Structure 1
């Protein structure tokens, strides 16, 4: 699907919504360390994951919009697997394969090949919001390379590395992704001033990766942040030039990470308000829109309705 992937990545694109927060708060499935992959290995968990992903894919089928869906593998790297008791030599391949096969099967079932991209998700080695203890660039390249190679060999359409808090680790995971020859996208965490948790300005982080990694990412996204904060970043002139940031997977609630972590329920903007705020970001050149913490299929459906109403289903973003 290499040609299709490049074509779909070049235009407006819908992305899926939350997985982990829905597992925990909507379906009552404990998901320690946000390791959604653990649910692939129980009947209840696998059925729940299939239901969540099917809901997102049905929106792509109903709307006619292209969509990116990400594998539930944010913690399916060596340390993350070990923390959940997956320590056997073949567990990295087994877990990532189970995740890909779930999505590939649903995509085929709904006849969405050529219209839905499966993104192989790679998360940070430690904390997505705290750079303390993050690996340096060389260590990150070596560490994340194992999962990147595994996902690429399975047949994902692109690699996607979201919620990285450290610029050196971001560059390292970029090198690991680049070595697979697949298109890939990065989504560093930023605050309303456009700085990563380690203090690196977003524009500097993007320049560091673009200048230091060959090939560079297809684009960058912003993830796990409310659309109002993205608007602040853009309004402050903190987005890098040349439209290197192509989109956002946004939280439903405009809360800092520490408050989000204290919630015991799904919370945030209603779907229609969320969609309006998201689509307002197109004035900053963004064309990829999806959800993160607190979003549901209702939020993604509202986004799809808004994109169609504005003519985005044709593959051309309106001016």
Structure 2
């Protein structure tokens, strides 16, 4: 396992890889970590499982649902073992926050339970495979539509809002909080501040449109700089997710801000977010081509050591990414 620093919080459970250690994750001997967040589209389009509100945490309510979740986690760990990589397990809690759960009828108390149960399940799976460097990430999503947020919060509002979910996660064996598919920097700043209050490492992942800019028009450079400036660079590292490499590869330039980007979690499809929202069939792209494109980015920027698949991807894509990207 990566040799990382010790946990500073006395109120949290001990983990196999202690919380707080992710800050030194990229100083470990593991050259590549795989991460997978395409489970929901795979369940909906490939397996025919209905996920109202794109919520996968309700799967925790049934034995069959928990079996599905464990299957995805174990498949990623097995791939890491075969390919000699580390893995970062993501919890099924991307929309397990108050506003996104209310239309589904879940209360804040139920959400706290789901967030904590998700991490407990992941820790159980990780305990079965101590031979693979494995970290547990609590997956957070935006308060509003990731691609067209109607009401944008300021940083203080975002900190208050996301503290509810992060508070629940702070009592678990989670190693890091990862906020995915964020569309504007103020929400990211609030999430980072909330994570810092609860002594949790945090990863921020922005999404971009086909022009390489965030849905709100910010450039990646400006968004990352704004977050780091407002939070004294507390974020462990930044990522890009839910976009195809064609959408952002040209915006990745050798400037100081790019050193803060250490992960890419790409869509299989070249379609825009608007096109994907309207799609009735899954566009799984070309797994081998996607792997080569991400490997090319890693060759251009060797400090990027976290790669994976988002919407439209499955273990075929993950295998191609791993095979193409190993040094």
Whether these two folds match at TM > 0.5 is yes
SS of 2:285's partner is coil
Correspondence for 2:26:
9
Residue pair 1:221, 1:245 contacting (<8 A) in 2 also: yes
1:135 pairs with 148, 153, 178, which one? 153
Q: How does 1:1-319 map to 2 (within 5 A)?
A: 1-2=17-18, 5-10=22-27, 11-87=31-107, 89-112=108-131, 115-214=133-232, 216-234=234-252, 237=253, 241=257, 243-282=259-298, 283-285=300-302, 286-308=304-326, 311=327
Report the CA distance shift for 1:217/1:288 in structure 2 as closer, same or farther (over 3 A): same
Residue pair 2:211, 2:248 contacting (<8 A) in 1 also: no
SS of 1:241's partner is helix
SS of 2:312's partner is coil
Shift, 1:174, TM fit: 1.6
> Deviations along 1:81-112, whole A, 9 cap, x unmatched?
3222111x521221001211221111112335
> Deviations along 1:151-197, whole A, 9 cap, x unmatched?
12212111100111122112111211222222211011223443211
Report the CA distance shift for 1:92/1:17 in structure 2 as closer, same or farther (over 3 A): closer
Residue pair 1:224, 1:292 contacting (<8 A) in 2 also: yes
> Deviations along 1:34-69, whole A, 9 cap, x unmatched?
111111112322222222222112111222211112
The 1-side partners of 2:47 and 2:41 are apart by 9
Residue pair 1:165, 1:198 contacting (<8 A) in 2 also: yes
**What are the ranges of 5 or more consecutive residues in structure 1 without an aligned counterpart?**
312-319
SS of 1:40's partner is helix
Residue pair 1:221, 1:247 contacting (<8 A) in 2 also: yes
TM-score normalised by length of structure 1: 0.89
Residue pair 1:202, 1:239 contacting (<8 A) in 2 also: no
**What are the ranges of 5 or more consecutive residues in structure 2 without an aligned counterpart?**
1-16
TM-score normalised by length of structure 2: 0.87
Does 217-226 or 5-14 show the bigger shift? 5-14
Shift, 1:17, TM fit: 4.2
The 2-side partners of 1:112 and 1:233 are apart by 37
The 1-side partners of 2:117 and 2:73 are apart by 14
Shift, 1:240, TM fit: 5.6
Number of equivalent positions? 305
Shift, 1:216, TM fit: 1.7
